[in-house]
Amino acid sequence: MDKIKIIQDLIDQVQNLPKDYDERKLNAFEKDAKMIIGNIFGIDSPHLKNLEEALTYFNQSGALSLMTDSRNDIGNDWNNLKNDLLDICNTMKKELELFHKE
């Protein structure tokens, strides 16, 4: 399968994440993304590091929002995470388009 298509599938997966936080769908995306990034770019890829940093930040800020029962904050954190995930996926796609011709 074409690597750009595989990354596009990840982009589609992020775009189809629900409006409200969904732990199950986020976990499914995380597993897929880690597997794909590791196989396409390698386990030492900065893309994998960026993904892990975005997820860690969300988990920390989201947990704090839940502990303080701040629904607006968790919604903002969720939207920020989805934007970060899209940025990471779009960067991977662009890298493949520019530098990894098959």
Which tens digit of pLDDT belongs to each residue from 9-50?
999 999 999 998 888 999 999 999 999 999 999 999 999 999
Per-residue confidence (pLDDT) for residue 102, from 0 to 100: 55
- Domain segments of the chain as ranges: 3-15+24-99
| Between 96 and 21, the higher pLDDT residue | 96
**Residues 6 and 40: beta-carbon distance below 8 Å:** yes
Between CA 10 and CA 86 the distance in angstroms is 9
Which tens digit of pLDDT belongs to each residue from 60-94?
776 556 556 555 566 688 899 999 999 999 999 99
